[in-house]
Structure 1
């Protein structure tokens, strides 16, 4: 382990020196304020392979020294028995434990350093710190919050900077260009279980019937995995007086679509499957026929945590998506997380569902409306404490030298 001491006028400069000279794997052992700035002691983590090789060499030398006196005796004095081979991996548990402890120490030090860096920003850039905290309180990811703060700059008072930041956030939200209710076509809704796909199908169908007539709509479901899964859609079909067709296993989707070719809008409700379900790719394959003009929309629940939403988008995004629909907005406590995923994954949002009423609780997505709802939710909910808002994302980014 190589240990080195650094002096710098501020914590960010010191951290930058550590990373430039010792790399991203350097471990901060201590830090303290000194005259003229700060002092940091850092070390480069050990090379596990080198230590393992050294441990093996020590073990081999030990065995050789034990065997030398025995070699001087006659072979008749040695017992005729197989000698168990000593494991050259006997040191691995020790190394694994050492590695775990060092990682734990590194995490602890990095968290402490994040807090110091955040405190430094609060003292030297209070407007920027407040802006970051308010964005994080909305549920916005630390990465996106820093990006918006960078573009916002520092010219203006707190209210001016906040309005500019919200404008930048709204401008970044991707919104789908096509309007299903105006254009019609073949539209499939995909997504995990329980996000409201069937209800969204019913809302779109009802709106289209009111605008163009019930003879212009057909409903199809591919969900034959669950007993009675399509009964809800059949109920909506009876209420709207539109046909509902269940695709049986092995049945050709293209033939069914051809049967309803005279309908302006065909909505396909799919089985809800978790993003880790092994059957997911197989189930979605029938929607990816290049000869079928199907527009696929991912249905996301605003109540799902940001990390969960990101995983869902990555898994379902393996097939081409035309956009998404955001449901259960009325049940969400924070909306910034969903907006962060849409922005970072560049997935355009087409419609927003904010209730169970069919067809009332449905609206075309508008970026400024979504940001306004995110702000209202943050004001109504509990504020995120300053120390929580700063760590680990914001504080570590400051420590890494990000502005």
Structure 2
């Protein structure tokens, strides 16, 4: 594309999007960021090595993603423009959204469950940040920043029963990614936001991965580990903390719990058509949580990739095999299944699942576009089942509130065609 293809910019547009960039200019502007999404070039460092130069924004989106969405939306090209229309129509994307910060957020237990307030505000902050990044309209940046500033000046604690660990993980990685997108906006108090993430969310994430509430190491399902790994990784990027970055990546690669990739994908197969598949740890539980795992592991891989560490391809693309397995089964096809056993509680009581669960089979969650556009367009892998799940079942992805009002509808950000299509 030529410079003339770029939409007009204003002084309020983020600095990394203020000019039409040549390939060389984009490389300079992004500062060495992995540009596979925009340019098809990627060189991975040794796994687990924290960046020496951090890429910003470099969480689930990098400047190439944002610039591409900006260009395609301005040109009215699909699938970007169709997803943009879904974003604009979503009530959480309105610049008039008003934050409702809480001093203590409760999830689980006998407390009043106020955590939906948090996930609704995070969805609004994220979606307004996207509208600002793509159009330059500061009304949306002001809204997103106001939400973040209100929470960072109010929130002091997460509480509840063990479910509070889920809140710390899911809303931790999501909120940190909003901060990452806003980090160069004048109206955003980055320092206060970083302190909230470090002091309120990170201790829960770190503590859970360290001791799992003092239960058997296999007691918790993969998603519990994964969302907390994702939160630590997102906080590390937001705060440029190399130790936390390595903590997250190392756990994903070789941790003791079920979020470590070998434990999350315990059995590998090849189907009759020659496709490599990997049984997901929660497949015998239900498909809703299994598909949730595709989203939680996916954002870990995406964030690490945008800082130069290829977890998408780690262990001979083990996560890819799992995503193919989950997608194949949820599009109505048969997959092999090996009895899965584990220990639960504090005494590691024996449990087993002998068949794959059909509960919530085919559930629609907006997690597949990101996986398809990475594995198919960047790695050039034949992702037949992932593509079918994304294209034939989910379609154009929405976001907060488009998949129900309960927490499951907010476990992922969505808008995958807008931000990842290539």
Indicate whether the TM-score tops 0.5: no
What TM bracket, shorter-length normalisation? under 0.3
Which has the bigger relative contact order, CA under 8 A and spacing at least 6?
1
- TM-score, normalising length from structure 1? 0.20
Q: Higher strand fraction: Structure 1 or Structure 2?
A: 1
- TM-score, normalising length from structure 2? 0.20
Query: Over alpha carbons, which structure has the higher Rg?
Result: 1
